[in-house]
């Protein structure tokens, strides 16, 4: 993809993310269930922090929607916004893979960073539970402490698989060498 087209695409993706985050804040009305945005607001949900959660959200939703997206949210969050947060992001992710090559860090460093980000989010979820006594996702209430730890470990394993798959796709599409555009080369 040409640099200008790629820049426009990235700007549009950023505007889309900003629009979705803004839309979440304006749906917060007086008639919403009090527990929806209790402590941590919208920033307690992984969807808002990282819009690439399509697979896990829809897998859990199809199993039992009440575990991740209770029916009480239907009257608060419009259907289009639910799909903007949980469906539309997957095509954006694939378009990003096909639009531009990415330089992944060394495998060890990349996995350490991924593990750290996961640890921070899990800590945030546990902190919210310790303060409010309510789980961010009703699914977590079904687990014992050992089961919850196993769930988090399994989730991390799935995240590592997605990371590795993304790295694999990048290598299959773009090869091992990363092309440096002319404008980034020294002397030009």
Residue range 112-137, pLDDT digits in tens: 998 998 898 889 889 889 988 888 88
Q: State if pTM tops 0.75.
A: no
Q: What is the pLDDT of residue 107?
A: 92
Which structural domain range is residue 25 located in? 3-184
Residue percentage of the chain with pLDDT more than 70: 77
For residue 150, pLDDT beyond 90: yes
Flag whether pLDDT at 143 surpasses 90.
yes
As a whole number, the mean pLDDT across the chain is: 79
Q: Structural domain tally of the chain?
A: 1
Task: State the Cα–Cα distance between residues 10 and 64, nearest whole angstrom.
Answer: 34
Cα(51)–Cα(45) distance, integer angstroms:
10
**pLDDT range class, residue 111, cuts 50, 70, 90:** very high
How many other CB atoms sit within 10 Å of the CB of residue 40?
15
**Mean pLDDT, to the nearest integer, of 163-172?**
90
pLDDT score of 30: 47
Instruction: Give Dmax (Cα) for the chain.
Output: 61
* The two three-digit tokens of residue 145, written as one number: 């402490």
Long-range CB contacts (< 8 A, 24+ apart) of 98-106?
98/173, 99/1, 99/6, 99/9, 100/1, 100/6, 101/170, 101/173, 101/174, 101/178, 101/179, 102/166, 102/170, 102/174, 103/178, 104/167, 104/170
**Predicted pLDDT of residue 49:** 47
| Secondary structure letter of residue 74 according to DSSP | T
């Amino acid at each position: 993809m040409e640099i200008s087209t790629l820049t426009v695409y990235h700007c549009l993706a950023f505007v889309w993310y900003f629009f979705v985050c803004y839309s979440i804040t304006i749906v917060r009305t007086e008639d919403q269930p009090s527990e929806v945005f209790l402590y941590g607001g919208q920033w307690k949900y992984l969807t808002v922090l990282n819009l690439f959660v399509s697979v896990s959200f829809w897998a859990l939703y199809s199993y039992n929607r009440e575990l991740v997206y209770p029916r009480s949210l239907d009257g608060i969050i419009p259907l289009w916004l639910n799909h903007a947060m949980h469906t539309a992001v997957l095509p954006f992710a694939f378009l990003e893979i096909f639009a531009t090559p990415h330089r992944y860090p060394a495998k060890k460093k990349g996995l350490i960073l991924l593990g750290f980000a996961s640890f921070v989010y899990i800590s945030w979820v546990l902190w919210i539970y310790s303060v409010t006594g309510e789980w961010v996702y009703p699914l977590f209430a079904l687990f014992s402490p050992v089961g919850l730890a196993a769930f988090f470990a399994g989730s991390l394993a799935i995240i590592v698989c997605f990371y590795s798959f993304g790295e694999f796709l990048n290598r299959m599409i773009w090869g091992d060498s990363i092309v440096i555009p002319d404008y980034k080369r020294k002397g030009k």
